[in-house]
Amino acid sequence: MSKKCCPHIKPTLQIAVFCILLGISVIVQAEEPKLILSVEEINALIPQIEAAEERPFSNLKVESERWVETKVDLSDPCEPWKRTRIYVSSTAWFDGNPKGKARVDVHKEVLRWQEGAAPYGESSYSVGFDGQHGRVVDHTRGDSGKTSPLKEGKLLPDAPVLLRDNYLGSCTGAQYTLCSFFNDDDKDEGRTFSRLFQAAISPEAVEAKAFEVALEEFEGIECIKFSSNPTRRFQKSWWFDPSRGFALLGHKYTVTREDGSERLMCSIKVTKLKEVAPGIWWPTQVTSVRAAFDPEKPYEQVVYRASNVVANDPNFDESIFTVAFPNSYLIDDQVAGRKYRAGEE
């Protein structure tokens, strides 16, 4: 049984198909071919990439929300993305330095329940690191829509794990940027985009055709496209906008099956950027698609929306990084090795 024409298909495409069926000659405008850059042109880009990787801000505040949607068949334009109950609303602050001061206030987090019978659990909490100690404050927890006060806190000798496993980047949108796409462990190993560009022009890489750097349009914007393993089974590509500080606009990771077909493993599309300070373009609308490990399970799409982004606030108060323990909360002080109730000493 054939499917009816889907309203998602552009009218111009429908007209072209209709004309072809009638035997009428039509001219279809092809995509602009990509322009492969030479070693010399790539080398000239590297200082600009290095400059873009530097975080030119001393503080950043982001209010955001994100949720998860699912879809079974990415190739079917008639199948809509179905929104799940997974959702996070947060306010985050950080000083722009890798492993630096940071804080996230999670106002509402709904995830698949790991410890109870209900399908989804809900919580609210705060995590912070002031450069010396980490703090975790759990406000509420329970089944989704039926939370109860938890009133617990922890004082830690280092930053909470959540601030070091890219959770901060998912709340601020930093993980969708040139300077923070790779996590701290990658950077400790020297993995940055500027180094990837440098690797692309090494004689060994050029001979092996291990990388490709080109000019190519992405969503109607002329970009620098960087691809690794462009002719091999596992392929990764990124698109950067040189007119907006080499802001990351897209990412795609595909695997070529034995039959020659491609399976999308991961993709990122930044659909809106905001110039939060001179020359600083920050993602405020992003969709990120990821395949499940089990190919029979649906794809998941994370939709990210930042409602407010403030950079380099001259009145920024760094005391915000020290999360206060509310009175009566039970505190587990893992620095001094004791427990107590806040406000009762």
Q: What is the pTM of this model?
A: 0.87
Whole-number pLDDT of residue 116: 57
Collect all residues with Cβ–Cβ distance below 8 Å to 220 and sequence separation of at least 6. Answer: none
With tokens 């920024």, the residue in question is: 316
Predicted confidence (pLDDT) per residue in 99-138, tens digit? 899 999 999 999 987 665 668 999 999 999 999 999 999 9
pLDDT band at 189 (very low <50, low <70, confident <90, very high): low
pLDDT, tens digit, 9 for 90 and up, residues 50-77: 999 887 788 999 999 999 999 999 999 9
Residue 211: partners with Cβ closer than 8 Å, 6 or more residues away: 196, 199, 200, 205, 226, 227, 228, 230
Higher pLDDT, 295 or 224: 224
Please report, for residues 31, 91, 145, 170, 328, the alpha-carbon distance to residue 104 in angstroms, rounded to integers and kept in the order given. 43, 6, 22, 11, 22
HSE (side-chain half, CA atoms, 13 Å) at 279: 9
